[in-house]
Amino acid sequence: MTKVGIGIIGGGYMGKAHAVAMSSVGAVFNTGLRPHLEMVCASRDASAERYRKAFGFSRATSDWQKLVADPKVQAVVIASPQETHREIAEAAFAAGKPVLCEKPLGASLEESAAMVAAAEASGVANMVGFNYIRTPASQFARQLVAAGEIGNITWFRGEHTEDFYADPNAPASWRTTGMANGTMGDLAPHMINAALALMGPIAKVMGTVETVHKSRPGGEVTNDDHAQVMCRFENGAMGHLFFSRIATGRKMGYAYEITGTKGAIRFDQEDQNALWLYRMDGPQAERGFRKILTGPAHPNYEPFCQGPGHGTGYQDQIIIEARDFLRAIETGKPVWPTFRDGHEVNRVVAATLASSKDETWKDISRF
Amino acid sequence: MTKVGIGIIGGGYMGKAHAVAMSSVGAVFNTGLRPHLEMVCASRDASAERYRKAFGFSRATSDWQKLVADPKVQAVVIASPQETHREIAEAAFAAGKPVLCEKPLGASLEESAAMVAAAEASGVANMVGFNYIRTPASQFARQLVAAGEIGNITWFRGEHTEDFYADPNAPASWRTTGMANGTMGDLAPHMINAALALMGPIAKVMGTVETVHKSRPGGEVTNDDHAQVMCRFENGAMGHLFFSRIATGRKMGYAYEITGTKGAIRFDQEDQNALWLYRMDGPQAERGFRKILTGPAHPNYEPFCQGPGHGTGYQDQIIIEARDFLRAIETGKPVWPTFRDGHEVNRVVAATLASSKDETWKDISRF
Amino acid sequence: MTKVGIGIIGGGYMGKAHAVAMSSVGAVFNTGLRPHLEMVCASRDASAERYRKAFGFSRATSDWQKLVADPKVQAVVIASPQETHREIAEAAFAAGKPVLCEKPLGASLEESAAMVAAAEASGVANMVGFNYIRTPASQFARQLVAAGEIGNITWFRGEHTEDFYADPNAPASWRTTGMANGTMGDLAPHMINAALALMGPIAKVMGTVETVHKSRPGGEVTNDDHAQVMCRFENGAMGHLFFSRIATGRKMGYAYEITGTKGAIRFDQEDQNALWLYRMDGPQAERGFRKILTGPAHPNYEPFCQGPGHGTGYQDQIIIEARDFLRAIETGKPVWPTFRDGHEVNRVVAATLASSKDETWKDISRF
Amino acid sequence: MTKVGIGIIGGGYMGKAHAVAMSSVGAVFNTGLRPHLEMVCASRDASAERYRKAFGFSRATSDWQKLVADPKVQAVVIASPQETHREIAEAAFAAGKPVLCEKPLGASLEESAAMVAAAEASGVANMVGFNYIRTPASQFARQLVAAGEIGNITWFRGEHTEDFYADPNAPASWRTTGMANGTMGDLAPHMINAALALMGPIAKVMGTVETVHKSRPGGEVTNDDHAQVMCRFENGAMGHLFFSRIATGRKMGYAYEITGTKGAIRFDQEDQNALWLYRMDGPQAERGFRKILTGPAHPNYEPFCQGPGHGTGYQDQIIIEARDFLRAIETGKPVWPTFRDGHEVNRVVAATLASSKDETWKDISRF
């Protein structure tokens, strides 16, 4: 059992999630490498120290460069704002250290391109934090689709919808300014990643991106509230994507339906322990979508619980992610989804934004 | 209690539905006018006679002109193929007889325009058979939206999906040829009508219409299997519509979700006795979509049953439709949805087809 | 096509349902016999006349004996209060006329025993109005269980729960007095009938019957609000039944779950067009309850609609019932559920009431 | 931040769950005490060593007495078979060490009585591992009921159903022998605990306990497959409990419904992140069960995730439990559910078994 010193940059929402995951991933998955919470970095010393105590790190800093350079920090988790991703990642790769970077990968397509270049030049492990796709249910969905269990896919519909800005009177904040913090920057990458994982590459898109509430108490809104995309996958299937932060009533609407010539699949993260499967076989009178509860028969479930239907949760996705990152560190090789996979997502985002501007279909190959 | 002689053209799927509805609508709604099943028309004498006996008509014919001209036939229901709608309707209006015409209204936009002109010139009752919108649940949804109960609408998603052609080996038939029999002709009008009823007019559309399985055992396929539409409503809301006859697993996927600034509504015809309502009020901890079972508190439910949750079904929608048609006959005035409403649906269909061809947004006002 | 003159006693909730059903059953099922609404009877002349006009009967009366004796009334539907069932049924049988009697069959076990004797002595058609069991979904459930599709049954749980008296401030009425109007008299018979239909005879019961709200505005409550029964079926399975009129939030909670050694079934009348089936076969990873939407592949669905998932409703159950009654009249033979079946239900009711009194298990054979 | 040395006896299903929980509870809840995985005990040295490595303990042993006596072990978690609970707990209390004991508390009512006596004599922290009740949803349900939000409770129905022995051909094992391993011993305690937590004490029970499959491949079955209980709560409400390990299709059927005079609650652990609430207020037309997704507004959710609807899972329940146990250690005071609470559950189990034998109601006060 080898210890690996983990440095996490950012101690908020995702920083905490990664710290917790690193604390328990070893016991859950009996990993070869065991993470040690070596150092946490936050924008100010006081908050860094607070995170250190709360999450159990050995040391704290407000200087990310110090963290990256520290010899005891053997792998870096970037959970700071998008604008900081590139510089940190490049420094970490330069220092030969594996990086797990939160989504979206960088604040623009140019940045993610540069980050991929840096990652691939370094040759060390690199991964992007698309956590939702790692549930046992969605992993099982990937297997079913890949194995042709529902035939040739003719239709994909995906959405990532939440309602934290549904109230027009919710005040402006950092979230309501900067493209990377809008719906296309913040929510869309998750579902685009899911679409690519489940369906393969997208060939072209036609999108509409919109700021519905142009001002809010406290200021103007400069990024998008919701967006929709018609798309064509390279496998020929037609698709539709919808992203929203104003989807009243939706709390974790990461949901998709996949229609094939032999069956269909439905999933909604709000009931993340169920996958709905329809098979066009058997007697007509007995056909119907079946609600499959995840259990030991599904990917990555059993380490959390031996009983089916007992359920995994949000934090468990991050633990699965941590397991994969540890594997990447151990082998020195990238593990899906890599920076390149994160960049592929950004290409779809960029094409959608361009499409929305001039109202024409955009080939992803141009981005 | 005055009898009104009903003539129905067509004795298949919808012809039967109307015959049954006319049989019981009087007892259900205690209507002023009471329908008498005077005459049924089918393409051949033998089938017409078979329908007469089965449904309880007084007389049968294979000549629709005879039916329209018959003095005892005081109102005409058109449940024959789309290509026949115009000629029959024009003859009926010329004879001063009220017409209930099945959807879609005519086989093309030109035809429905002519039919509207004939209807309005005659001044007699005219109605289109959009039955699904008449469920107590959807009527209640209309009331909620119209009363502003869920605030300003920001998003509408509707679909009409079935799977009767999901199997690529299902043989070609009359359904797989002729635009009016494809998904845009056959299924789309229902959900477009719902969108217009719930949301008001559509301003513009961007559509993709597709024939997925271009040949089937027995012949080429010349109409569409599925289609999607991005749209903008005149009220400013963004929307998406999806129609499919290859939606594996979907049996009656007439479904919509409406997102507003104060709440949201969801409905799926596969569970037609429930409407899901979310209200952005009360304590945060108690918010959630509530599953409202239709009952006497909702429109047009009580005449079918005094107990809530006991449920209405497909046939009951046609009975509600018959009640409205009787009212139209009685007052001599059109009742929603009129031929004009049916024509509005056709405009959206035509704009979508045009948009799909040159891949640009189309203003509905141009159609 | 032969006309049969129908006389209905009672014009309220169930009287109307039967009148409507008799109006359309011929067209729906293309029956050999065609009902004619000959005469309706109500307690007062004015209401009888009102029902006559509303439902389309030829004649009205306030004297049920006149109705029963009328030569044009060829079959009698009893939809009047339980206390009147016996006398009317005996008179009808004496006149050689088929009877469809609403549940419960008579106001007591003694009455139903006498009614069975009268029915069987007469040899004419006799039937009891357990409508809910006639949905396509429940009929399909019966087939699945009878065919052994879910193996040997080990457990049955049924309930009939509504909430029309859930509010303690709802005023006293005729419903809150008289055993036959309480939960055991009014609601329990439906689910006991279902249990017998799905599972076969009950061997013994242990029940608890309770009046929760002993007084209400306007008077004392002398019958039960809810009741539960542990039971053993003759096939060896264990069971539980629950009946309530104070089940807050439940509108039509006629629901059951059946557990077998090879599978399981679930049904809830609040979503009456779905049957949930679990099969213990196929890969473990794909097992789950499937939601089967009723359609033409299921019993008695297609006459209402050719499309699956389009749904039947409450009134359609009564139409199916009318079809069966017409068959019984036509053949002169009883059709399930007969008066004897209604009496079997009453035996379970009586045994439950007795069990609740002395808190011991009761063999049904003693009742 | 003070370290506390944790010793866990048992490294299987629950032993692992506690080890994982102790690894991350500090980071999740920012606890005052921080657990150190000091020692794990298993029946054999080899397995103990395997658990040590896998879960990250400092030391391993096959001698639980050594673990209990070790000065670095400051708190003991008992996750070994029921038969061992008493002796271990008594030794730990004698050594003045806090104990978290898995359910059921001991192998019999006599044992749990002795364990309560030992716990209370020692005065140190003592807790029983009823994990399911700790979900945010169930904790919120407790709050709603306690605050009278659904009025006076008239009915409670609870079940704990799984299907790991539904197949009659599943072989005999240690699970099919010994009362404590049957359904009443293994599953019932969870739901009885829930019933007591939600409703308060049970006054009396009438139960039926049954071994359905009396032999299995490999041996006779000497404990129960399923059981049902009619009960009366001290608050006057009627109740029913059902427990089964042969409930085909049920994976984690820890489910309850609570009916009150002002509302109702429903919960099913198979969708553990949703609580269904019905309120008898507002317009009749808008009433319905609402599906509330757990989030930061609910107890113990936010430490796992700031976003509502993102969901907690099985392992998170154990983490919440660990937090409470740490609190108990820190304060030196028992935390709910204490050994006494575990004993109260055992009393209901014992009364049910006795009732099943002589088929009479049993007052809990006699046990």
Residue C1 has pLDDT above 70, yes or no: no
The Cα–Cα gap between B231 and C302 comes to 36
3-state secondary structure chain A: CEEEEEEEECCCHHHHHHHHHHHHHHHHHCCCEEEEEEEEECCCHHHHHHHHHHHCCCEEECCHHHHHHCCCCCEEEECCCHHHHHHHHHHHHHCCCCEEEECCCCCCHHHHHHHHHHHHHHCCCEEEECCHHHCHHHHHHHHHHHCCCCCCEEEEEEEEECCCCCCCCCCCCHHHCCHHHCHHHHCHHHHHHHHHHHHCCEEEEEEEEECCCCEECCEECCCCCEEEEEEEECCCCEEEEEEECCCCCCCCEEEEEEEECCEEEEEEHHHCCEEEEEECCCCHHHCCEEEEECCCCCCCCCCCCCCCCCCCCHHHHHHHHHHHHHHHHHHCCCCCCCHHHHHHHHHHHHHHHHHHHHCCCEEHHHC
Residue C203 near chain D (CB below 8 Å): no
Token couple for C182: 């309480």
| Cβ contact, residue pair D289, B289, below 8 Å | no
Nearest-Cα distance to chain B for D288, in Å, is 4
The set of chains that have 3 or more CB pairs under 8 A with A is: B, C, D
Phi, psi of B287 (to 5 degrees): -80, 140
Task: Return the exposure string of B224-239: e unless at least 16 CB atoms fall within 10 Å of the residue's CB, then b.
Answer: bbbbbbbbbbeeebbb
The Cα–Cα gap between D78 and D55 comes to 16
Would you state the pLDDT for residue B50? 98
| Cβ contact, residue pair A24, D23, below 8 Å | yes
| Cβ contact, residue pair D288, B291, below 8 Å | yes
Nearest-Cα distance to chain B for C246, in Å, is 14
| Cβ contact, residue pair A155, B240, below 8 Å | no
The Cα–Cα gap between C50 and C52 comes to 5
Residue B262 near chain D (CB below 8 Å): no
The set of chains that have 3 or more CB pairs under 8 A with B is: A, C, D
Q: C174: which DSSP letter?
A: G
The full DSSP string for D210-243 is E-SS-EETTEE--S-SEEEEEEEETTS-EEEEEE
- Chain A residue with Cα closest to B239: A228
Measured between beta carbons, which residues in chain A are less than 8 angstroms from residue C289? 290-291
Nearest-Cα distance to chain D for B290, in Å, is 4
Would you state the pLDDT for residue C270? 98
Residue C10 near chain B (CB below 8 Å): no
Measured between beta carbons, which residues in chain D are less than 8 angstroms from residue B285? 140, 292, 297-298
Residue D285 near chain B (CB below 8 Å): yes
Question: The tokens 């159950």 sit on which residue?
Answer: C317
Residue D147 near chain B (CB below 8 Å): no
Strand partners, A158: A241, A256
Q: Residue range B14-30: average pLDDT?
A: 98
Q: What is the ipTM of this complex?
A: 0.97
Would you state the pLDDT for residue A96? 97
CATH code, residues A2-132+325-337:
3.40.50.720
pLDDT cut 90: percent of chain A above it: 98
| Cβ contact, residue pair B290, D293, below 8 Å | no
Residue C261 near chain D (CB below 8 Å): yes
Burial of A44 by CB count in 10 Å (0-12 exposed, 13-18 middle, 19+ buried)?
Answer: exposed
Residue C61 has pLDDT above 80, yes or no: yes
Residue B1 has pLDDT above 80, yes or no: no
Q: Is domain C2-131+325-336 classified as CATH 3.40.630.10? A: no
| C81-129 residue pLDDT tens | 999 999 999 999 999 999 999 999 999 999 999 999 999 999 999 999 9
Would you state the pLDDT for residue C262? 98
A199 near A237, Cβ under 8 Å? yes
Give me the residue from A168, A238, A247 closest to B228, CB to CB. A238
Q: Check whether the bond before C217 is cis (ω within 30° of 0).
A: no
| Cβ contact, residue pair B269, C27, below 8 Å | no
| C261-319 residue pLDDT tens | 999 999 999 999 999 999 999 999 999 999 999 999 999 999 999 999 999 999 999 99
pLDDT cut 70: percent of chain C above it: 100
Residue C260 near chain D (CB below 8 Å): yes
Residue B259 near chain A (CB below 8 Å): yes
Q: B133-312+346-358, superfamily in CATH? A: Dihydrodipicolinate Reductase; domain 2 (3.30.360.10)
A140 near A293, Cβ under 8 Å? no
Would you state the pLDDT for residue B235? 97
Nearest-Cα distance to chain C for D288, in Å, is 7
Measured between beta carbons, which residues in chain A are less than 8 angstroms from residue B228? 230, 238, 240
Would you state the pLDDT for residue B137? 98
Choose between C356 and C334: higher pLDDT. Answer: C356
Neighbour count for residue A84 (Cβ, 10 Å): 17
The CATH number, out of the four listed (3.40.50.720, 3.30.360.10, 3.90.950.10, 3.30.413.10), of the domain defined by the range C133-310+346-358? 3.30.360.10
Residue D235 near chain C (CB below 8 Å): no
Measured between beta carbons, which residues in chain C are less than 8 angstroms from residue D247? 155, 259, 264
| Cβ contact, residue pair A298, C288, below 8 Å | no
- Residue closest to D32 by CA, chosen among D65, D1, D64, D53: D1
Residue B201 near chain C (CB below 8 Å): no
Q: B171: which DSSP letter?
A: P
Q: D132-306+345-358, superfamily in CATH? A: Dihydrodipicolinate Reductase; domain 2 (3.30.360.10)
Measured between beta carbons, which residues in chain D are less than 8 angstroms from residue C228? 230, 238, 240
Token couple for C264: 């399981």
Measured between beta carbons, which residues in chain D are less than 8 angstroms from residue B293? 288
Length of chain D: 367
Would you state the pLDDT for residue C108? 93
Would you state the pLDDT for residue C56? 97
Q: Which of A140, A284, A290 to mutate to test the interface with C (most CBs of C within 10 A)?
A: A290
Burial of B43 by CB count in 10 Å (0-12 exposed, 13-18 middle, 19+ buried)?
Answer: middle
Nearest-Cα distance to chain A for D103, in Å, is 16
3-state secondary structure of C93: helix
Looking at every residue in chain A, the average pLDDT score rounds to: 97
| Cβ contact, residue pair C226, D238, below 8 Å | yes
3-state secondary structure of D5: strand
Cα dihedral across residues C46, C48, C52, C54: positive or negative? positive
Provide the pLDDT confidence category of residue A1 given band limits of 50, 70 and 90.
low
Measured between beta carbons, which residues in chain A are less than 8 angstroms from residue B166? 259, 261, 280
> Residue A56: which residues within 8 A CB-CB, separation 6 or more?
A19, A23, A37, D1, D26, D27, D34
| Cβ contact, residue pair D249, C278, below 8 Å | yes
Neighbour count for residue B49 (Cβ, 10 Å): 18
- Chain C residue with Cα closest to B18: C27
Residue B304, Cα to own-chain centre: how many angstroms? 21
With left for phi above 0 and alpha for psi between -120 and 50, is residue A227 left, alpha or beta?
A: beta
Nearest-Cα distance to chain C for B285, in Å, is 19
Q: Which of D144, D153, D155, D358 to mutate to test the interface with C (most CBs of C within 10 A)?
A: D155
Would you state the pLDDT for residue C90? 98
Measured between beta carbons, which residues in chain B are less than 8 angstroms from residue A286? none
Give me the residue from D284, D285, D291 closest to B288, CB to CB. D291
Give me the residue from C26, C252, C295 closest to B307, CB to CB. C252
Q: Which of B149, B290, B292 to mutate to test the interface with D (most CBs of D within 10 A)?
A: B290
Q: Where are the domains of chain C?
A: 2-131+325-336, 133-310+346-358
Q: D2-131, superfamily in CATH? A: NAD(P)-binding Rossmann-like Domain (3.40.50.720)
> Residue D278: which residues within 8 A CB-CB, separation 6 or more?
C248, C249, D263, D264, D265, D287, D288, D289, D290
The Cα–Cα gap between A260 and B213 comes to 12
| Cβ contact, residue pair C155, D289, below 8 Å | no
- Residue closest to D151 by CA, chosen among A227, A79, B66, C246: C246
- Residue closest to A105 by CA, chosen among A135, A125, A84: A84
Measured between beta carbons, which residues in chain B are less than 8 angstroms from residue C6? none
Residue stretches of chain D with pLDDT short of 50: none
Residue D286 near chain B (CB below 8 Å): yes
Residue type, A294: T
3-state secondary structure of C364: helix
Nearest-Cα distance to chain A for B49, in Å, is 32
The Cα–Cα gap between B283 and D277 comes to 13
Would you state the pLDDT for residue C352? 98
| Cβ contact, residue pair C228, D228, below 8 Å | no
Residue C166 near chain D (CB below 8 Å): yes
Helices within B212-338 (DSSP H only): 314-331
Measured between beta carbons, which residues in chain D are less than 8 angstroms from residue C280? 166-167, 248-249
Strand partners, D39: D7, D59
Residue type, C197: A
A326 near A35, Cβ under 8 Å? yes
Provide the pLDDT confidence category of residue A162 given band limits of 50, 70 and 90.
very high
Neighbour count for residue D272 (Cβ, 10 Å): 28
CATH code, residues A133-309+346-358:
3.30.360.10
Give me the residue from D164, D312, D314 closest to A314, CB to CB. D312
Residue B155 near chain A (CB below 8 Å): yes
N-terminal to C-terminal alpha carbon distance within chain A: 44
Nearest-Cα distance to chain D for A26, in Å, is 7
Would you state the pLDDT for residue C18? 98
The Cα–Cα gap between C324 and C317 comes to 11
